[in-house]
Structure 1
Amino acid sequence: MSDKKAHILVTDDEKAIRNTLEEILQFENYEVSTVDSGQAALDFVHERSVDLMFLDIKMQGMDGLETLKRLRDSSHDFPVIMISGHGTIEIAVEATKMGAYDFLEKPPDLNRLLISVRNALSKQDLEREYKQIKKKLPKIQDIIGESKPINKIKSLIEKVAPTQSRVLITGENGTGKELVAKWIHEKSPRRAGAFVEVNCAAIPSELLESELFGHEKGAFTGASEQRIGKFEQADGGTLFLDEIGDMSLKAQAKVLRALQENRITRVGGNESISVDVRILAATNKDLEQEITDGNFREDLFHRISVIPVKVPPLRERKEDIPAIAKACLSNLQEQDISFASVSFTADGLNALQQKEWSGNVRELQNAVERLGILTSNDVIDESIVEEVLRSRELGSDDLGKLADQTNDFQDFKESAERLFLIKQLEKNNWNISQTAEAIGIQRSHMYNKMKKYNIER
C-alpha cells in the first residue's frame, strides 16, 4: 500500500471477535472500523471507502453470504475475507465463487490472518495500478456497424482470434484492415503481449530488413549502435505486416525463413535468435495476381494466408454510414472541446449515406471532421453536407473555374494536375505510396510533383 493507512472494516455480530481483530489490526498500523451486522456493513461502505473487509458468515439477520452478494451487486470490488466458527468446505467454496478473497476459521491463526491481509491488500494495489494504466492506454476503436458484411467480419474475428493461425486481411484503402488486426490481437491469448505494426509501404526496401530483424553495431554505414527489430519486439505477441504486398522479394525471402524456423538473425550478426510471434498481414493488392506478375512469392502467400479475411468497402455496407459518422463525431468530441455542441440531423446523416466514399471509412472520418469545423450553427444538416462536400469530387465545375481563371494552356494543365493530386492525396489520407500506386505513377515521381506544385498537407 502507499503511505496512507489501509482502511479495514470488521463485520461480526460477536463483540469479542470485533474487539480482538480491531486490536490486532491496529497494532499492525491499519485503520480499523467495526460494525455488528450485514446491513450496517452495507450502510457503512455506502458512506466511506474501504480497502478490505472481514465478514462473518453466521450473523443474525442478513448473513455473510447474502451481504457479500449485495456488495458485489453494488460493484464494491475490495477484497473480502470471510470468517466463521462453523466452517465447512462447501461454505468456503460457495463464498469463493461469490468473490471472497479468503476464508478463515475462528479463532483465526494470527500469522495466517496477517499474511492473508497483506496479500489481499497487495492484490488490491496491483488491480488499482492496472486500472490506472489501462485508463491511460489508448482504447481500441470499436468496429462500427450491424450490416450483414460487418457482422460476418465480427463473427470471423471471434473464431480466428483464439487460435495461433496466421491471418491475411485484404480490402481497399481506408476500410479498416488495421482495426481488424488489432481486434484479432485483443481477443487472442497474446493480448498481454505487444502488438507491433510495420507499414511495409512506408519503409524504403533497403531499410525494411533492418526494421524487421534489427541490426548489429557497424552492420552498415550509419549503424552506430545495435538495434532490436520488430520481430524481437513482438516476441510473445503479434506482428502486423501492413501493406505486405509492397515488400521487396529479398525481404519476402527473409520473412519466409523466419516464419519457417521461428528464428531470426540481425543484419550484420551471426547469432540465431528464437522468436515467438503471430503474424497478421494486410494488403490492398491482389496477391495472387502479384504472384503471377512475379512480384510476390507464392510460398510466402500460402504461409501468411491460412485464414483470409476480406474487409468490405463502404459501398457494400452503406447502412452502416450513419452509425460510423456519429461515432467519428463522438471521437472528435472526446478529443476537442470545440466539437462538443456539434450534432447531426437525420437528413444530414441521410445525405452522407447517399454519397460515394471511394476512400471508405478513412475518407468519411475526414469528411465528418471537416463538416464539424465548417458548420456555422453546430448542426450538420443536408445543406451543409452538400455545400462542404461538393468539392470532394473533381468535376466540370472545378475544371470550369480553372478554365475561367487562365488563358494559358500550360497553366491550365498544371493547375488541373495540382488539383487532381491534392484530391487523390485526400482520398488516401495523404499516404504518398498508396496515392502513387492508385494513380499509376512511381513514388519518386509523386514526391517530385508535390515539390513542383508546392503541395503540403
Structure 2
Amino acid sequence: MAGRVAVVDDEAAARKRLGEAFSRDGYQVETFGDAEAFLARQGQAPFDAVLLDLRLPGMDGLAALKRVKAMGGDTEVVLVTGFGGLEPAIEAIKLGAYHFVAKPVRLAEIRNLIKAACDKVALGRANRQLRQALREETGLESMIGASAAMRGVFELVRKIAPVNCNVLIQGASGTGKALVAKAIHKLSPRRDETFVSFNCGGFTEELIASELFGYEKGAFTGASATRAGLLESAGGGTVFLDEIGEMPPSMQVKLLHVIQERRILRVGGVKPIDLDIRVIAATNRDLKSDVAEGLFREDLFYRLNVVNIHLPSLSERREDIPLLARHFIDKYSLLFHKSVRELSPQALQMLSAYAFPGNVRELENIVERGVALCDGDIFDTGDLPRELNPADARPAQADEPLVSLEELERRHIARVLESTGRNKSLAAQILDVPRTTLWRKLKQFHLE
C-alpha cells in the first residue's frame, strides 16, 4: 500500500507542484492551505509523512508540529521555511521533526526526504505487525524479556501448555504469575474455552466455597436462586487460583477432593457435577516450607505441583529492564495520548540501579506515572519518583543497624503508599495483596 502524504503550504502553486510530484511517485496525496484544515484531517486519518511550511496563516508550523506529535502515531514531519537561521531548525528537531529544510526547496531533495520518512514509518509498522504475529503465535504477547532466565520460562511454558497437567507458578509479588497462567491457557487445546481467575486470599471459607462451588437456591440466607460457581463455569477451560497459599486449611481439603475426583457439589446441593478443567495455581510463598510447618496440605501441594514454574525477580533479570521500560513507555504514551518516544540514558541508568522490590509491577507503575507527568518526548530523570536516586539504589551499608523483618515490611508498605500518593488500591496491586490484607497491615503498623 502506497504511503499517505500531506502537503501543507499557503502558496497554491507550491502545493500544486509538490502534490503532483508526490502523486507521480505513487503516494496518496492531500494538500492544505493552513494548519487547522490539515490537523482536522490528520485526526481523522493520520498521514505517513507531512511536508509542513513553517510560516502559515493562523497556526504556524511549529505549533502544528506539536499538535501532530501530541496526537501520537507514526507520522513523520518535514518542516520547510523560507527564513534562515538555526533556531527554528533546532526547535523543530527538539519537537520531533524528521527533517528541516530551507527554501528554495530542491524537488529531488524533498522527494528523497519524503521517501525516507515513508519508508521509516512502513518499516516500523511492519516490525510491529511481525512482533504481534510472533507473539500471537507463541501466546506470550503480554510477556517481555530476552534474558536467559525468561527464555527458560518461555520454553517451559511452550512445552507444558499442550499437556493437560496441573501447574504451580511460584515467584515474588509483581513478577507476572497471572500472565504466565494466561499464556499457558492460550497455548493449550483449551484456548477457545473459558479462563477463570480467582484470588484465594482475603476471603472467608464460606465466601470461597460459594464463589468456587456455587450454591443451590435456599442454601443460606440470601441465596434466592441457584448459582453456578467459578469451577463449574470454567467447564472445558482453565481455572487460575492465585495466592493459593492463603487458602484456609478447611478449603484445601475441599479443593483436593475436587482435583482428585473432578467433581463438585454446590453449597446446599446433593447431586455431584462432573468437571473438565485444568488447574493452574500461583503463590508468592514457599509452599514446601508451609507444608513442613503444617500450614499447607502436602497431598494438595503434590497434586498442584505436577509442573513447577519459577519466575525470577526483576533484580535477577536486570538486562530486561530497558525492554520492559520502553514497552511500558509505548503502552502509556498511546493510552494517555502522549508523544513520549524515548528513555534518556540517565533515566535508564537510574532504573537499572534500582532494587525494584515490587518487581515488574512496580516498574510499570513508575513508568506509567512518569509518562503521565512527562511534558516532552523524552522520558528523563525528572519524570522518575524522587526515591529513585543513586543513594536509594545502593545496597545497605554494613554499618547500618539491622532491623526486624516486621520493621522491613512496615517500611516497604509505607514507601509504596508514599510512591502511589496513598492510593490504597494501587498500593495493594503493587504489593500483590488483597485490599483487606493491606487494610489490616495499615492498622497493625499504624499507617492509616
Matches within 5 A, 1:371-410: 371-382=370-381, 384-385=383-384, 387=386, 389-390=388-389
Distance 1:334 1:436, change over 3 A: closer
Identity of aligned residues (%): 40
Aligned to 2:283: 283
Report the CA distance shift for 1:371/1:224 in structure 2 as closer, same or farther (over 3 A): same
Q: Residue 351 of structure 1 aligns with which residue?
A: 350
Code of the residue aligned with 2:232 in structure 1: it is: E
Q: How far apart in 2 are the matches of 1:267 and 1:377?
A: 57
Counterpart residue type for residue 381 of structure 1? D
Q: Secondary structure at the match of 1:430?
A: helix
Q: How far does residue 431 in structure 1 lie from its aligned partner after superposition?
A: 2.1
Contact 1:193/1:236 (8 A) holds in 2: yes
- CA-CA distance at 1:160 after TM superposition: 0.5
Contact 1:252 1:297 in 2 (8 A): yes
SS class of match (2:251): helix
Q: Could you list the per-position Cα deviations for residues 419-446 of structure 1 after superposition, in whole angstroms to 9, with x for gaps in the alignment? A: 8644245699522895779xxx976633
Number of aligned positions between the proteins:
291
Q: Is the 8 A contact 1:215 1:228 kept in 2?
A: yes
2:160 partner letter: V
Q: Which structure is richer in relative contact order (CA contacts within 8 A, separation 6 or more)?
A: 2
Q: TM-score, normalised by structure 2?
A: 0.59
Match of 2:233 in 1: 233
1:430 maps onto 2:427 in alignment: yes
Counting only pairs closer than 5 Å after superposition, residues 13-52 of structure 1 correspond to structure 2 as none
User: Counterpart of 1:212?
Assistant: 212
Letter of the structure 1 residue corresponding to residue 180 of structure 2? V
Report the equivalent of 2:96. Answer: none
Name 2:191's counterpart in structure 1. Answer: 191
Kindly report which structure 2 residues correspond to 1:162-173, keeping only aligned pairs within 5 A, or say none.
Answer: 162-173=162-173
Q: 1:74 is matched with which residue?
A: none
CA gap 1:205/1:431 in 2 versus in 1, 3 angstroms:
farther
Closer/same/farther in 2, CA of residues 435 and 234 from structure 1, 3 Å limit: closer
Distance 1:394 1:419 in 2: 15
Asked whether the equivalents of residues 242 and 282 of structure 1 are also in contact (C-alpha less than 8 Å), the reply is yes
Amino acid at match of 2:415: K
Unaligned runs of 5+ in 1: 1-138, 396-415
Q: Deviations over 1:135-154 (max 9, x none)?
A: xxxx9752111100000000
Structure 1 CA distance, aligned partners of 2:352 and 2:157? 26
Say which SS state the counterpart of residue 282 (structure 1) adopts.
strand
- For residues 417 and 198 of structure 1, the distance between their equivalents in structure 2, rounded to whole angstroms, comes to 26
Question: For the residues of structure 1 that align with 2:151 and 2:412, how far apart are their CA atoms?
Answer: 36
Q: Please state how far the C-alpha of 1:155 moved relative to its aligned partner.
A: 0.3
Equivalence for 2:263 = 263
Q: CA RMSD in A?
A: 3.2
Paired position in structure 1 for 2:367: 368
Is the partner of 1:389 in helix, strand or coil? Answer: coil
One-letter identity of the residue aligned with 1:264 = I
Quote the Cα distance in structure 2 between the aligned partners of 1:446 and 1:433. Answer: 14
| Worse-matched range after superposition: 275-284 or 383-392 | 383-392
Query: How far apart, in 1, do the equivalents of 2:310 and 2:414 lie?
Result: 29
Q: List per-residue Cα deviations over 1:135-188 (Å, max 9, x = no partner).
A: xxxx97521111000000000011000100110000000000110100000000
Gap change, CA 1:212 and 1:386, over 3 Å in 2:
closer
In the alignment, which residue of structure 1 is the partner of 2:106? none
Determine if contact 2:249/2:296 at 8 Å carries over to the other structure.
yes
Amino acid across the alignment from 2:229: G
How far apart in 2 are the matches of 1:446 and 1:299? 31
Cα distance change on mapping 1:333 and 1:374 into 2, 3 Å:
closer
Alpha-carbon deviation of 1:391? 11
* Equivalent residue, structure 2, for 1:47: none
Query: Gaps (5+ residues) in structure 2?
Result: 1-138, 395-407
Encode CA deviations 1:396-426: one digit per residue, 9 max, x unaligned: xxxxxxxxxxxxxxxxxxxx99986442456
CA separation of 1:222 and 1:392: change in aligned 2, threshold 3 A? farther
Aligned to 1:305: 305
Deviations 1:182-211 (A, max 9, x none): 000000000000110001114333311111
Contact 1:322-1:349 within 8 A present in 2 as well: yes
Shift of 1:370: 1.5
Query: For the structure 1 residues 232 and 436, does the alpha-carbon distance in structure 2 shift closer, same or farther, using more than 3 Å as the test?
Result: closer
- Write the distance in 2 (CA, Å) between the matches of 1:378 and 1:279: 44
Could you tell me how far apart the structure 2 residues matched to 1:335 and 1:198 are? 27
Residue 87 of structure 2 is matched in structure 1 by none
| CA offset digits 1:100-144 (Å, max 9, x no partner) | xxxxxxxxxxxxxxxxxxxxxxxxxxxxxxxxxxxxxxx975211
Give the TM-score normalised by structure 1: 0.58
What is the identity, as a one-letter code, of the residue corresponding to 1:164? N
1:445 matched to 2:440: yes
Is the CA contact 2:217–2:226 (under 8 Å) kept in the aligned structure 1? Answer: yes
CA contact (8 A) 2:333 2:339 kept: yes
Contact 1:328–1:368 under 8 Å retained in 2: yes
Larger Rg: 1
Does the residue aligned with 2:169 lie in a helix, a strand or coil? strand
Shift of 1:292: 1.5
Q: Residues 358 and 431 of structure 2 are in contact (CA less than 8 Å); yes or no, is this contact kept in structure 1?
A: no
Partner-residue secondary structure (3-state), 1:260: helix
The Cα shift of 1:226 comes to 1.6
